[in-house]
Structure 1
Amino acid sequence: MGITTALGPARDIDLPGGRIRYHDTGSGAPVVFVHGLLVNADLWRKVVPGVAAAGYRCLAPDLPLGAHSIPVPEADLSPTGVADLIAAFLERLDLDDVTLVANDTGGAITQILLTRNRSRIGRVVFTPSDSYEDFFPPLFAPFKLLARVPGSLRPLTALLRIRPLQRLPIAFGFVTKHGLPDEIADSYLLPSRTSAAIRKDLRRFLTGVDKRYTLAAAEHFAEIDIPILLAWATEDKVFPFASAERLERAFPDATLWRIDDSYTFVPEDKPELLTKMIVEFTRLHATP
């Protein structure tokens, strides 16, 4: 969707299974931002300008996870299929030594990607994300069941037009501590509310989510020797800090940095601090 100009110009790219939209700004070594379920590239609108100003090319795709604007009816939207879509995005744009920055469901997809094809990835920044048994975490597990009921997503997305409901834990209440501007909440929720084709994409992804994907990926964490930063919210209500500590122990070259006064959507709650962490970590582990 990408409603803000902070992300840079919107462009479309054809990938196996369909076309996606992405934003591209800045120059230098590439940093690719991977969002999660029911949000889009606007999640990174307060982070991208600072990272680009520090001398990096920032690319933020709108992945087909329910807040995208271009339906992809032919795409494989299983967790492995979305991971392969990101790999194809990196290949199609010929991006190498990439810093991936992932959040929420995007973190789970990135973990899967790392175990399938990390040839173009130089380092990864995980903000609070699904992992291990929590794909989805218990709070959001009902979405998987709901998606199996024909016609169920349309009334749910219609209900979420009501602003107070958007602040409930099952919506954005437990992922952003300081709330969302109305126009950003609309950017996230309008596509699935107004497009049956987008809801079909969303349903296909939701029905494929299963912890077996993240557990299978975790079996290979010890083999992933690239630098990993875990920039985790200490107050997260969905992905507890203990999850980050578990990931730190699992990856051979992992560093855990604490972020206070934030929930899962660190790019919304603490964008300046996250920007600083991304730049410092990427410079520290730059390829000679």
Structure 2
Amino acid sequence: MRDSRLGTPHTIELPSGRVHYHERGQGPPIVFVHGYLVNANIWRKAAPLLSDRFRCIMPDWPLGSHLTPVNRDADLSPPGIARMIADFIEALELRDVVLFGNDSGGAYSQLAAAAHPERIRRLVLASCETPDCTWPPAPGGFPLLKRTAAHPLTYRTLYQVLRAPTAWRWRNTYGWLAKYPIDDLTMRSYVDPVLRSAAIRHDGRKAIGSVDEQFTRSAATILATTFGKPIELIWASADRVFPLASARRYADRLGVSVRTVANSYTYLTEDQPELTAALLAEAVNR
């Protein structure tokens, strides 16, 4: 259930457990960080557009749509996921990494860059949490995801609606994240793990149940004051979950500009892969 355009599949053992990832291309490394309830398939359109110049490394992070549960006692709080990103980069012996995060993957990327900057050369954030945002973000009703994670039964019950493809376009599922419908095979790779596996639900519930804007706001302070490395912002101009105005305020605080992508919602590589890949390549090469 992973698209062949992602390249070669691999697994790696980290202190927190086994992580599956795909790799395609040669050149400066880009490590991709997706958000909650998606997986590496979200990069399937962009990877072929970048792999002629860059080494694209695309893990499945344990955020509810992954294949193999991590260790039962793994720390899946935001700092724990940030540590996992750093452990992954270290395990692959990567240096001068470009860290690219989208949706809540951008929040985790901010934490990773702030707390573990040693091997990171550049941070690229694409339509994600800013210091203005709550986590989960308020638009679309996404705070319900955290509230229902308080108990395994309420968490499991919430996701049963995803058995029906008509629910995939609701604003509080994927409808405000992708402007255009995502193909059924990709969507099944996103929703089936959380529907079918209690162990995957355990991971997803731990992850979404522990998010909070205090983490991103603390990371933003570090990034704005002591990070000292380039940061790029790429944003959907029509984003309904992470407003462009918030991105511009964050960019002012960071002393950078915002590159916008028209005709897209949050999932930039889904709605506008060509333009997003071009902007990412430009950011990497600056």
Q: Same fold (TM over 0.5)?
A: yes
Answer yes or no: is the 8 Å Cα contact 1:18–1:74 preserved in 2.
no
Structure 1: runs of 5 or more not aligned: none
Aligned to 1:267: 269
From 57, 60, 66, the counterpart of 1:59: 57
Q: Distance in 2 between matches of 1:125 and 1:190?
A: 29
From 235, 238, 248, the counterpart of 1:235: 238
**SS at structure 2 position matched to 1:160:** helix
**SS at structure 2 position matched to 1:136:** coil
**TM-score scaled to structure 1, two decimals?**
0.95
Aligned to 2:144: 142
Aligned to 1:125: 124
Q: Report the residue type matching 2:251 in the other structure.
A: E
Q: Report the residue type matching 1:163 in the other structure.
A: P
Name segments (4+ residues, structure 1) moved above 6 Å: none
Matching of residues 84-163 of structure 1 within 5 Å: 84-132=83-131, 133-138=133-138, 139-163=141-165
Q: Distance in 2 between matches of 1:99 and 1:114?
A: 10
Q: Distance in 1 between matches of 2:66 and 2:257?
A: 32
Q: Distance in 1 between matches of 2:267 and 2:46?
A: 12
Identity %: 40
Question: What root-mean-square deviation, in Å, do the aligned CA atoms of Structure 1 and Structure 2 show?
Answer: 1.1
Q: Does residue 1:226 correspond to 2:224, yes or no?
A: no
Q: Report the residue type matching 2:267 in the other structure.
A: F
Shift of 1:220: 1.4
Matching of residues 205-216 of structure 1 within 5 Å: 205-216=207-218
Answer yes or no: is the 8 Å Cα contact 1:232–1:244 preserved in 2.
yes
Q: Distance in 2 between matches of 1:40 and 1:265?
A: 12
| Deviation digits for residues 42-94 of structure 1 (CA, Å, limit 9, x no counterpart) | 000000111102x2111000000000011012311000000000000000001
Q: Distance in 2 between matches of 1:110 and 1:183?
A: 27
Q: Report the residue type matching 1:66 in the other structure.
A: G
Q: Distance in 2 between matches of 1:237 and 1:39?
A: 18
Aligned to 2:250: 247
**SS at structure 1 position matched to 2:114:** helix
Q: Report the residue type matching 2:229 in the other structure.
A: I
Q: Distance in 1 between matches of 2:223 and 2:134?
A: 16
**SS at structure 2 position matched to 1:152:** helix
| Deviation digits for residues 98-156 of structure 1 (CA, Å, limit 9, x no counterpart) | 11111011111111111101111111221100122421111311111111133122222
Shift of 1:225: 2.1
Q: Distance in 2 between matches of 1:149 and 1:70?
A: 22
Q: Does residue 1:23 correspond to 2:22, yes or no?
A: yes
Aligned length: 281
Structure 2: runs of 5 or more not aligned: none
**TM-score scaled to structure 2, two decimals?**
0.95
Shift of 1:282: 1.1
**SS at structure 2 position matched to 1:83:** helix
Aligned to 1:169: 171
Answer yes or no: is the 8 Å Cα contact 1:129–1:239 preserved in 2.
yes
Aligned to 2:77: 78
Shift of 1:217: 1.2
